[in-house]
């Protein structure tokens, strides 16, 4: 995982419509960059819906929400439509941003070890520097914790 004070690595990935989006497109805004394992799974759906439910407040705090997983553009489109997700979802099947941010890690489930995305959130300041790192976040409380942090 990257540390507070580190310059956030830029990346360019396709969004749910296939349009290329770069982190640098959001220079001058705070960015809530959250990485999650998989579209349409129970935890990821609850997490995305919590961000969607708080989306207007994120906007009033001048923060952009970006979700990243290794799912395809088509998967993101279905996920976003089904749950009315108003924020940016980026597809990273090559693990470009996922690895750059250190969230591709060994995971253990029922004693089985595999590699996967560890649910993590970064807050990036208006100058592109990481100001908060939240590793291994809980899907049900992540959006609220970020809002509390942004409110100061």
Alpha helices (H) in 33-124, listed in sequence order: 42-53, 55-60, 73-83, 96-100
User: What CA dihedral angle connects 30, 143, 92 and 110, to 10 degrees?
Assistant: 150
Instruction: Spot the catalytic one: 21, 31, 44, 146.
Output: 44
The three-class DSSP label of residue 46 is helix
Is 44 catalytic? The answer is: yes
Question: Using an 8 Å Cβ cutoff, are 95 and 2 in contact?
Answer: no
Catalytic residues: 44
């Amino acid at each position: 995982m990257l540390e507070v004070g580190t310059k956030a690595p830029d990346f360019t990935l396709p969004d749910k419509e296939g349009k290329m989006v770069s982190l640098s497109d959001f220079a001058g805004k705070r960015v809530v960059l959250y990485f999650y394992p998989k579209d349409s799974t129970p935890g990821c759906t609850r997490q995305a819906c919590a961000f969607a439910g708080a989306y207007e407040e994120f906007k009033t705090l001048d923060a952009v929400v970006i979700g990243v997983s290794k799912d395809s553009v088509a998967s993101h489109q279905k996920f976003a439509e089904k749950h009315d997700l108003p924020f940016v979802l980026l597809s990273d099947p090559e693990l470009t941003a996922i690895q750059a941010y250190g969230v591709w890690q060994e995971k253990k489930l029922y004693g089985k070890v595999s590699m996967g995305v560890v649910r993590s959130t970064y807050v990036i300041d208006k100058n592109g520097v990481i100001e908060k790192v939240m590793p291994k976040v809980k899907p049900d409380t992540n959006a609220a914790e970020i809002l509390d942090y942004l409110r100061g």
